[in-house]
Structure 1
Amino acid sequence: MKLKLVLLSGFLFLYYSCSTSNTKAEFDTITLAIETELSRLSDDSFISDIRSIDFKHNQFYLTDYSRNEILILDEDLTLKNTAGTGGEGPGEFNGASSIKVSDDFVYVINDGKQTVEVFKENEHVETINPQIILSSGTPLRFGTLDNTFYFSNPESLNSVSHYKSDDEILSFGEIYDFPNLSQTLIKNYNHVLMHSNGIITVSDNLPTIVFYDLNKNVLSKMDYGNLPLVQEHLDVLKRNPTEDNSYYILATDAYLFLDTLYVLLTLQNEQGPSSNKVLEIKINKDGTLRILNMLGLGDGWYTTLCVNDSSLLSFDRTRGNVVKFQL
């Protein structure tokens, strides 16, 4: 499998410790059983390049980057509908990337245009242009709450920017310093996820998670760099630094379902890279974070994930399949 890099910055890793988190250094990987797989849709067309998945209204919403469509599947993975089309016109996709479903609206980052396309009842209704960089080269999760968007935006010298239509962009959150400003700007990208009690950021390249309350104050932090598989990953990177303007992805994707956070990891070891492990983290009532399990997805190179109360859905780029696992 080709090594996955983001061509952005020189290599450096920073660690911090946090007394409010609970990380178990030793535990077994639980391999999930496959319930079903899907490569061909019910209209006989094929899935191509799934970049992001969300679950709402008992349906899975998937963005296919190559098809430039939103695929809407029921819980049995039967195609129910599609939305969007490719092109350069208003509302047309030039790379359908990260997706967020909130209430009756579907929000998708339009990668080539750096806009957010808004759909309702499978029809395009609005294009939002927050005038910030929405993609660092790989899909990053973003959040919505009360008509406000929360994006990773280290260009602001904070970790998160929140934007409301026609309002100024405001920023908050911790940012980690690197040897120069260029590295600091591009090595502070995060997946941004909305919890009922606040905002969670998951770094895409550092083993760090931060939980903010709705007033933007830090509730808790977690450094999961002491986990054996992650420690091995970090040790390999120390011995094999990247070229300038590049770094290794660690958290390929992150997904929040109720009070449990799932982080899809791309890990390096001496045999090469893999992307088939999911870190399962409990969000406690007091806002602290506690690791529950490491979940294994078996063979394959998985690039995104989504979770509901009974299953985990992911895309295996190796075979071009959407895979549904039992939880």
Structure 2
Amino acid sequence: MTDLRERTAASVLSESAWDARLAAARAELPFARRCWLTLGLADSPDLRFVPTAVRWGHSGELLLPLCVSGRRAQIGCYGYGSVAVSADWQGELPGFAELAEVVCRDHALTELSTLLPPAAASSGLERQLGHWPARPGRNTFLLDLTEGADAVWKAAKGSSRTAVRRAGALGLVASVALPAHGDDLLRLHRQTLGRNGVGSAYNASDIAFLLDGDQTVTTVVANGDAVLAASVFAVGAAGAYHLMQLTSEHGRKANAGHLAFWSALTALADRGIGTVDLGAAAGDGQEKFKAGWGALAAATRLVHWPYGEAR
């Protein structure tokens, strides 16, 4: 290990250099992009983004979206931790303890952690990071979309299908969101969080990328010109991730959220997405909603390395 340590180094990049190198790298998860990190940093103002490149011997370069608080750091701060590798990367990724030692050494840190999806979520990600030791984290819900949207519809509980049909019968219409829906999305976000006594930390520029259709699938449901609900999914090489389910009070009563969600699943299936991570359930209602569409609970994985621990 001594020779390898001498050939490894973690350096801090400018944000523009980070964007350029990330665009040329390979990543199974989408959450290393600065647009996602901006949302996580707004939610957790104690963190600061330190874009880090790690040259690992002759294997190549790793890109780590480090988010630092004091002497502790985590890989990523929104969704899951995402590690990108240079296009010329060769061989297996280093073990987490080896990587953490280099990062902590060069950034004067004492701890490094990250959150990974369940092992069943992505075979590609499992090949990349499956050797990192982890303990079970909070359950998320995985939905199998490999057989297409029709198969999901047939397997869904009657209550879920009825909610979608009821919204349609009320004249609500679902569509893919457009950039012009930015104000609607921000309003719905504030209303949804407000019902739980929480304020939104986002502004219009923070969430504009959710409507560009490149790295997301976002659908809205409207009654005439009034947008009542939206469903937001991130899209990456390993699958899709349900990040926001937003409704107005009127939208809740009219099942607009169910229609937005189903419309998004259809769009994801059309894009060839096989696995959809619906996220954790904050309560019985959310668990019922996710299970109603056929999603199964699976544990996320917490990876943590305290500096100085025996290796």
TM-score of the two chains, using structure 2 as the length reference: 0.26
Structure label with greater radius of gyration: 2
Q: Which has the higher contact order (CA 8 A, sep 6+)?
A: 2
Which structure has more helix as a fraction of its residues?
2
